[in-house]
Chain A
Amino acid sequence: MRRVFALLISLGLILFFVNSLSILPEYGNVELSKVSNAYINKSVNGNNEKVKFGESKDLEDGAANVVTSIVVDYRSFDTLGEVTVLFTSALGVGLILHGFKRKTYGRLPNFILRVSVGILLPLILLFGVYVFVHGHLTPGGGFPGGTIIAAGILLLYLSNEEFDLSKTSKFVESYAGSLYIVVGLVGLAIGGVFLINFLPTGVVGDLFSAGIVPIVYILIGFKVGAELSGVIADLYREG
């Protein structure tokens, strides 16, 4: 009986959504809004001239990846808030799952796991660092880079009995978060706006371009990686 009612309710919801399709644009035929056009041409204050790869210089924001320039530059205050939400949830996990000892099995992990972690872990960490250092040129950035590093830390936890990172992760996380705010305050002192891009932005497509975007993304990468490995460390303790 309960299942029938649940099925009816969810079918009604699906029908409601399908009905509301008429006010949505057709799939694949969306028009770019004015805001998106301004973000793509990287001139929110200017006159919307076209950007060309490898030639355009000294734009508002020099990141070749438009998504990165929205996340870290134009809507950076938003990202600061989201990083704070992530910090709060990691703090909540630490508060709820209080415990002191790291969980042990009393026997060594699998031989294949132990050996292959030694080979794979440097590659995984290197890939994570690559993803967030090149966040303004290629797909990726601080958020996926941080999670890739956290996945590497999870592998370390699985393969090593004595490994414990919780103190280091708290240290790295708090310093990266504070440095993000310090970058914003420096922008406030130089340009008059919190988190303004105060460094020269360079040519679109160079590794050393885009002003503060790579710096902020590296900080976000460290912060997200440290927070998620802290969550894993908390789940590994026994209370």
Chain B
Amino acid sequence: MTIATIFVGILMIISAIYAIEAKKMLDSFISLSLLSLLSVFLFVIMKAPDVAITEASVGAGLTTAVLILALRRIGGDEE
């Protein structure tokens, strides 16, 4: 289990750095959604299925949707 945890942790750190440094907003949001999905894996490893199902529906679904809807409302992606 430890190797899987380390692997997921490295992926999370990479996706967090990409979410901050990405030039386009849309890439940043998708990367944030990937971070949430990977954290679901950590929650399942740590025996917290309630939190995992909440994070899966909120982090991967609604957070991305809210951010993208707000981005579309201000008129799309600007460099």
Do A and B have CB atoms closer than 8 angstroms in the complex?
Answer: yes
- Are A232 and B57 also in contact (CB < 8 A) when A139-B49, A140-B50 are? no
Chain A, range 130-170, C-beta contacts under 8 Å to B: 131, 139-141, 143-144, 147-148, 150-151, 154
Residues on B with beta carbons closer than 8 Å to the beta carbon of A140: 50, 53
- Are A235 and B70 also in contact (CB < 8 A) when A147-B62, A151-B61 are? yes
Taken residue by residue from 198 to 227, chain A's Cβ proximity to chain B (1 for < 8 Å, 0 otherwise) reads as: 000000000000000000000000000000
CB pair A235–B69 under 8 Å, yes or no, is: yes
State A67–B56 Cα separation when bound (angstroms).
Answer: 17
Does A231 interact with chain B (Cβ within 8 Å)?
yes
Chain B residue with Cβ nearest A237: B73
Does A65 interact with chain B (Cβ within 8 Å)?
yes
Closest-CB distance, B48 to chain A (whole angstroms):
8
Does B22 interact with chain A (Cβ within 8 Å)?
no
In this complex, which of B49, B53, B54, B57 has the most chain A Cβ atoms within 10 angstroms of its Cβ? B57
CB pair A144–B54 under 8 Å, yes or no, is: yes
CB pair A147–B49 under 8 Å, yes or no, is: no
- Are A148 and B50 also in contact (CB < 8 A) when A235-B70, A235-B73 are? no
Taken residue by residue from 109 to 137, chain A's Cβ proximity to chain B (1 for < 8 Å, 0 otherwise) reads as: 00000000000000000000001000000
State A141–B66 Cα separation when bound (angstroms).
Answer: 22
Give how many A-B residue pairs fall within 8 Å (CB-CB): 44
Interface size on B, residues (CB 8 A): 15
Chain B, range 1-17, C-beta contacts under 8 Å to A: none
Chain B, range 30-70, C-beta contacts under 8 Å to A: 49-50, 52-54, 56-58, 61-62, 65-66, 69-70
CB pair A232–B53 under 8 Å, yes or no, is: no
Residues on A with beta carbons closer than 8 Å to the beta carbon of B70: 235
Residues on B with beta carbons closer than 8 Å to the beta carbon of A141: 50
Closest-CB distance, B65 to chain A (whole angstroms):
5
CB pair A235–B66 under 8 Å, yes or no, is: yes
- Are A150 and B49 also in contact (CB < 8 A) when A143-B54, A236-B69 are? no
Does A228 interact with chain B (Cβ within 8 Å)?
yes
Residues on A with beta carbons closer than 8 Å to the beta carbon of B69: 232, 235-236
What 9 pairs across the A-B complex have the smallest Cβ distances? Answer: A139-B49, A235-B69, A147-B57, A144-B54, A151-B61, A67-B50, A144-B53, A139-B50, A148-B57
15 A-B contacts (beta carbon < 8 Å): A67-B50, A131-B53, A139-B52, A139-B53, A140-B50, A143-B54, A144-B53, A147-B57, A147-B58, A147-B61, A148-B57, A151-B61, A228-B62, A231-B66, A235-B69
Interface, chain B (partner A; CB < 8 A)? 49-50, 52-54, 56-58, 61-62, 65-66, 69-70, 73
Other 9 A-B pairs with CB < 8 A, given A139-B50, A232-B65: A139-B49, A139-B52, A139-B53, A147-B61, A148-B61, A151-B61, A154-B65, A235-B69, A235-B70
